[in-house]
Amino acid sequence: MATTADIRNGMCLDLEGQYYYVVEFLHVKPGKGAAFVRTKLKNVVTGKVIDRTFSSGMRLDEIRIERRDYQYLYQGDVGYIFMDNETYEQIPIMKEMITGVEFLKEGMDVSVVTHAETNSVLYAELPTHVHLKITYTEPGIKGDTATNATKPATLETGAEVRVPLFIDKGETIKVDTRDGSYVERV
């Protein structure tokens, strides 16, 4: 248990069954009335940011959240199977809990966020940029490179992205996993 005097940036709180990081806070002492704490909180799972005001001295539930590196092994019946890089323990994670799952390939390291006390997985996050090989794309037409024209390309994971016309089948590209956009040729 913590109080509003213990609030600091990066602290994780349990509010109404949901977990939030403290993005920023401000202790306010008005000339008239009781002091309060104005906070900006970010939901751990969804990323939604909310504003919340707490009266001074209010008790809050602080929780510990850990971020560990796991390696993706394969897709099983119960979800995607990951292995802890330190303990070699294997855990299943559901598709809905993985951000950028369409760019996930075997052997890739991902960051898994877990609740420290219960050891339950909250979500898994791919690196911001991954290198993937193009398995299929239409050939580009010579002379069409003057504009920012793009064409669809299928990656080795089965995901489809838009790439510039000069990119061909068999090339490796860098993809942003947050929005699925082409970054550069590798």
pLDDT for 143 equals: 62
Residue labelled with tokens 């959240």: 65
Per DSSP (E only), the strands in 29-64 are: 36-43, 49-55, 59-62
Q: Final residue of a domain: which of 82, 102, 125?
A: 125
Provide the domain count of the chain: 3
pLDDT for 33 equals: 87
Using only the alpha carbons of the chain, give its radius of gyration: 22
pLDDT for 139 equals: 84
How remote is the C-alpha of 15 from its chain's centroid? 21
Looking at the whole model, is its pTM more than 0.85?
no
Give 10-residue mean pLDDT values along the chain (186 residues). 87 90 91 90 88 91 90 90 91 89 91 87 90 89 68 91 88 91 89
pLDDT for 99 equals: 86
Q: What is the CATH number of the domain that holds 38?
A: 2.30.30.30
121 and 147 both lie in a single domain: no
98 and 84 both lie in a single domain: yes
145 and 156 both lie in a single domain: yes
Contact 75, 54 (CB under 8 A): no
Q: What is the CATH number of the domain that holds 174?
A: 2.40.50.140
* Residue range(s) defining the domain that contains residue 178: 129-185
pLDDT for 142 equals: 65
